[in-house]
A and B are shown apart, each in its own frame.
Chain A
Amino acid sequence: MSQKPEKLIDKKGLRLDGRKPDELRPIKIEVGVLSNADGSAYIEQGKNKILAAVYGPKELHPKHMALPDRMVLRCRYHMAPFSVQERKSPAPSRREIELSKVIREAIEPAIFVEYYPRTATDVFVEVLQADGSTRCTSITAASLALADAGIPMRDLVVACSAGKVEDTIVLDLMDIEDKVGSADVPVAYMPNLGVITLLQMDGILTPEEFEKAVNLAIDGCKKIYAMQKEALKAKYVSVKEVEE
C-alpha cells in the first residue's frame, strides 16, 4: 500500500481514484450526532472520517487563564490510534499539537469571541480514519459543530486543499498524492465574506502555480460550503416541513 505508484495521473488525465484534477472526493456530512456535547458534526470526505464536538461557552478553569475581554477558544486535534496504517501512539504528537493551533486560528476569526468575556469554549476534533488533508476536513467539521452549539458566528468556515501532482494542479489531495506529490496548499475560507483564515504551503510551486492552486482550493471550498449548509439545515428540516 505504501509503495510508490508509478503514475499518479494516467493518460486520460484521471487520478488514482478516478477523479478529474478539479474534482472533490465524495463528501457526507451529519450535524448533531453526539447527545452529550453542546454541538457536534461528523464528516466523511473520501476515506477521511472525522468527528468534531463543541462544549461551551462555559466558565473557564483555571480562572487565571480567562481573558477579561473575550472568550477563550481551546482546540484539540487528535488522531485515533487506528486512524492510520501503522498504529499511532495515542499521546499527542508534535504534529497534532501544531494542527490544534492551526485549526483554532482558522476558526477563531469566524466566532464573536468578544461577546462572551471570561468564558471558554472547547473544540474536540477526533480523526477516526485519515487519508490526507485532515486539517481541512477537521476545520469544516469543527465550524459546523460550533454552529450546532448555537455559538454566534460571522460565517461558516470551510477548508479544502489543492496541490501539485506530476506537474498538474489538483484539488483535494488524498494521502498518497500528498506524500508523493510535490506541493500541498491547504486553504480555509469564509465564502460569504470572502475571507481566507488559513493558508499554508508545503512543497515548491512557482508564483503562477501557487495562485492557480489557491483559486482552485477556493472553488473547492465553495462547493463544500453548499454541502455544509445543507447538512446544518437537514437537522432542522422537519422544522420547515411541518411549517409549510
Chain B
Amino acid sequence: MPTFFERRQIVTPGDLLAEGDYIAGENTYKEGNRIYAARIGLVEYEDKKVSVVALRAFYIPRVGDTVIGTVVEVGFSGWTVDINAPYLAMLRASDVLNRPFKPQKNDLTEVLDVGDLVVAKIVSYDRTHNPQLSVDEPGLGKITRGQIVKITPTKIPRVIGKKGSMISMIKQETGCHIILGHNGIILITGKSLEDEELAMMAIHKIEEESHTTGLTDRILQMIKKEKEKRGGS
C-alpha cells in the first residue's frame, strides 16, 4: 500500500496520492483503490486517511457554521443575505423578530436594511435548498460597530489555532472581541481603533504565513513589538 508523496508536499489536481486500503479525505477522490488530489494544496497522511489542505478554495455552507453576511435584498417575509458562498442565504423575519409579524404592519427595513452586516448561524442547508440562517443565539444579529477583515475561508482554522490557541492569544493581547465567520469574514470590535488595527494586522499576517510553523509565537512577538512602539510614541 504505497503513498506517493511526502507529508505537507504540494500537489496539483490529478496527482496520485495513495494506492490501496486508504480513506479519501478532504479535497481528494477515490477511483477504484487509488486516491487522487482534487485541488491544489498540501497533502496530509493520517493513519489510513489521505487528505489535501487546499491552498485555493471557496466557502461551501455547512449546518452549524457561524457566518458573517451582507443583506442584499429585503423581501416580504425575510432577508436575502450574501454569505460569500455560491448560494445566497435566507433569513426569515419571524426568526429575527421573535414574535408573530404581519407584512402589512411591520416594515422590515427598520430591522435590517440592504447593506447591513449580520452575524448568523446556518440552521439548514442541503443540495436542493439554499442555506437558512438564524440569529437566535446570544452574540448573533446585526453588526453595529467594529472592523471587517476578509480572508480565504480555508485559512480560518489557522486563525483559530490548535484548540483555539491563536485566537485566544490575539483576543487577550489586543483586548478585542473577535467573531470568526466560517465563510472567511472576521469581525473585530475593540475599545479603540488602534486595538482593532493591531488585531487586523495580526490576522493578515496569519493569512500570509498560514503554512509556516511556530506562527503563534511570532504573532505574539509582533503584537508586543507594535504595542511597545505605540506606547513609546
Give the interface of A toward B (CB within 8 A). Answer: 38-39, 56-59, 68, 110, 112, 116-119, 147-156, 190-193, 229, 232-233, 236, 239-240, 242-243
- Using Cβ atoms and an 8 Å threshold, which residues of chain A touch B213? 243
Closest A-chain residue to B126, C-beta based?
Answer: A117
B212–A117 CB distance below 8 A:
no
B86–A147 CB distance below 8 A:
no
Report B120 CB to chain A, min CB distance, Å.
18
A119–B86 CB distance below 8 A:
yes
B225 located at the interface, meaning its Cβ lies under 8 Å from any Cβ of chain A in the complex: no
B147 located at the interface, meaning its Cβ lies under 8 Å from any Cβ of chain A in the complex: no
From B29, B56, B58, B87, contact of A59 by CB (8 A): B87
- Interface stretch, picked from B11-19, B98-106, B185-193, is B11-19
Q: What does the 1/0 interface line of B1-33 toward A look like (CB < 8 Å)?
A: 000000010101111100000000001010100
From A57, A118, A190, A236, contact of B40 by CB (8 A): A236
A147–B12 CB distance below 8 A:
yes
From A118, A148, A242, contact of B56 by CB (8 A): A148
- Using Cβ atoms and an 8 Å threshold, which residues of chain B touch A116? 60, 86
Complex-state Cα separation, A24 to B212, whole angstroms: 39
Report B155 CB to chain A, min CB distance, Å.
12
- Using Cβ atoms and an 8 Å threshold, which residues of chain B touch A148? 40, 56
- Using Cβ atoms and an 8 Å threshold, which residues of chain B touch A56? 86
A150–B16 CB distance below 8 A:
no
Report B11 CB to chain A, min CB distance, Å.
9
B55 located at the interface, meaning its Cβ lies under 8 Å from any Cβ of chain A in the complex: yes
B224 located at the interface, meaning its Cβ lies under 8 Å from any Cβ of chain A in the complex: no
Q: Can you give 12 A-B contacts (C-beta < 8 A)?
A: A38-B58, A57-B86, A59-B88, A110-B13, A149-B58, A150-B40, A150-B56, A150-B58, A152-B29, A152-B38, A153-B14, A193-B14
